[in-house]
Each structure stands twice: as C-alpha cells, then as structure tokens.
Amino acid sequence: MALVADTTLPFKVFTKGKVRDVYEFGDKLLIVASDRISAYDYVLPTPIPDKGAVLCRTSNFWFEKLGGICPNHLLATEVTDFPKELTAYADQLKGRAVLVRKAKRVDIECVARGYLAGSGWKEYKESGVVCGIKLPGGLQESSKLPEPIFTPATKEAVGKHDENISFERMAELVGRELASKLKELTLTLFSAASRAAEGRGFLLADTKFEFGLLDGKVILIDEALTPDSSRYWDAASWRPGVAQDSFDKQYVRDYLTKIGWNRQPPAPALPDDVVKNTRAKYVAAYERITGRRFGD
C-alpha cells in the first residue's frame, strides 16, 4: 500500500486535521485517514506506513460492532460505493477512506478511563482527583479503577492542548441534558469495547469518542477505539505500578520524551527503527482486536 502523508484531491476541503483530510460532498463527507502521526498536539514530520489504513479499518470494525449501542456516521467503506468522481483516486483511497453523513460535531472529547494512565495519572498524583472526580488513595500508575470514569476534555485546534474539564463544566458548555446523554453513551460504549478487547487478550485502558448531532439525534463520528485514540495493553503482562508496554501511540510519546523534546515546534523527525516499531504495534493492535490479518 502506498504511503499517503497528504492528499490534495480536487474537491472542496471541509477540514484538514492532524491525521485526517476531509472533503465535502453535499450532505456527505469523505474522510481520508493519512499516514501522518501527531503527538503532544503537533504533527510529526515522519509518516508511519499503513497507519491510516489501520485507523480506518479498526474504526470500521468498532462502528459495526457497537452500532447497536449508538448509531454512527458511516455510509460506505468501499471506493466502489463512493461518488463516481472519486473512482480515479481509488489507489489513494482504498482501505483508508470512508463516506459518512455530515453531522454537527459536539466540541467535546468524551473520554472514558478504566485504568490510571496518561494525563489522568498525572492529575491524580498531584491532587487525588481526575477531572473533578475524587479517586481512592493509594492508586498507582496503571492501576485498575474501581469502575470506569468519564473525564471529558475540550477539543482544541491543532497546536493547542485539549484541556481536561469536569462534567459540570461540560454541562455548562453543551447543556446538562446532552452532557448526561454523552456521558452515558461513552461509558456504555467503553464497557462493551473493554469486554470485547479482553476477549482478545487486551486491556482497554482508556479511549476517547467524538459525537455529533444529526436530525436531533446523537451519533458516533470521527474514529472509534483506534491505537490513536485509545491505550491498549497486553492483559497477560499488565501489572500496576509501572508504565505498560502499549500497542498504541504511547510508544511514540515515550520516544519523544526520551530524547527530551520540549513539545514546541518544530517537531522532531522519527528514526527508522521507531517508524518500523510503531507500524508493527499498530498492525498488531488491528490484528488482535479484529481477528483479521492486516493484508487480507
């Protein structure tokens, strides 16, 4: 599969994110997952081969599996089912693009955590609280929480850091009724995905969802439970008190921390071994989660 670090299709651009290029087709959107990778709010100059295809296929798997809990934006996943004017670009789009319904995005990252890691662990160490939720004392890094928690965050533009907020602050921003609905959906989706992941030997430490409104109803949009938006740990090797060997973007974050990047532009390039290992982790996550070979 060809490396796709960027797309320049001759169609109206709806938005270009850190990883996805989105094109407008009336009341539909074409979402193309590139091979770009971001960390600490910046896109790195080194793409990861096949990453976009892994993200797209992993999301499609979860959208189908969780569709009974929450409807999603998917309309078509095969280029042959896309608008005919896209046929000429099939080589760029195959396996990494979807056609979706356009929805009004709710500008909140809906995060669920089952284990203590990342910014949640950092906040807990400082205050014993995560996004306004008081947790028991004595927890360690990677500890399993007594029950999954909902920890929303603001959704910021590229280069700005998403800010963890309390549920009360989220209710002020989007309204209490919608906030309560999204909290319930997030935790229900997380629980279902966690059970499925455990059946494949993975622990789903945390994940984030994005939701939109279409005809007054909430739908799941963007991506779902990919190695970009989730932490996946090997269940057999998990032990609290240390950082876990993860099958997700944490590997790249750890490398950037190791080399002392100050998280300011310009973002550093990744060496060949980090690129190779990152690709391997993403493909391994896809294959274990779905039970499918990536090349199939």
The pLDDT tens digits of the residues spanning 115-134 come to: 999 999 999 999 999 999 99
Q: Using the CB atoms, write b or e for 50-60: b if 16+ within 10 Å.
A: bbbbbbbbbbb
Q: Which domains does the chain have, with CATH numbers?
A: 13-102 (3.30.200.20), 105-248 (3.30.470.20)
Handedness of CA 148, 154, 157, 162 (dihedral sign): negative
CA–CA separation, 108 and 110 (whole Å) = 6
Instruction: Give the separation between CA 165 and CA 146, rounded to whole angstroms.
Output: 21
Give 263's contacts (C-beta < 8 A, 6+ positions apart).
40, 41, 42, 256
Regarding beta strands 202-214 and 230-234, do their DSSP bridges make them parallel or antiparallel, or are they unpaired? antiparallel
How far is the C-alpha of 123 from the C-alpha of 129, rounded, in Å? 7
DSSP-derived secondary structure letter, 149: E
Average pLDDT, the chain: 95
Picking from 14-28, 66-80, 143-157, 277-291, which range would have the lowest pLDDT averaged per residue?
143-157
Average pLDDT over every residue of 196-216: 97
pLDDT number for residue 163:
87
Average confidence (pLDDT) over 16-36: 97
Query: Nearest 5°: CA angle at 200, between 199 and 201?
Result: 95
DSSP class per residue in 37-65: -EETTEE-SS--TTHHHHHHHHHHHHHHH
54, two tokens = 């892994």
Residue 153 and residue 164 in contact, taking contact as beta carbons nearer than 8 Å: yes
What are the b/e assignments for 77-95, b being 16+ CB within 10 Å? bebeebeeebeebeebbeb
Given a cut of 80, whether residue 160 has pLDDT beyond it is: no
Note the pLDDT of residue 116. Answer: 98
Band of the pLDDT at 156, cuts 50, 70, 90?
Answer: low
Q: Which amino acid is at 165?
A: I
Contacts of 101 (CB under 8 A, 6+ apart): 27, 28, 29, 73, 75, 214, 219
Q: What is the CB neighbour count within 10 angstroms for residue 12? A: 10
Instruction: State the pLDDT at residue 176.
Output: 98
Contact (Cβ atoms closer than 8 angstroms) between residue 44 and residue 14: no
- State residue 295's pLDDT score: 80
* For range 162-181, the mean pLDDT: 95
Confidence of residue 41 (pLDDT cuts 50, 70, 90): confident
One-letter amino acid for residue 245 of the chain: D
Q: With a cut of 80, say whether residue 37 has pLDDT above it.
A: yes
List, for residues 249-289, the tens digit of each pLDDT value: 999 999 999 999 999 999 999 999 999 999 999 999 999 99
Whether the predicted pLDDT of 20 surpasses 70: yes
> Tokens representing 36?
């770009």
Q: How high is the pLDDT of residue 282? A: 97
Show the tokens assigned to 121.
Answer: 């662990």
Other beta carbons less than 10 A from residue 213's beta carbon: 14
pLDDT at position 161? 63
Distance CA 34, CA 31 (A): 9
pLDDT at 165 exceeding the cut of 70:
yes
Q: Is the pLDDT of residue 143 over 80?
A: yes
d(CA 117, CA 126): 13
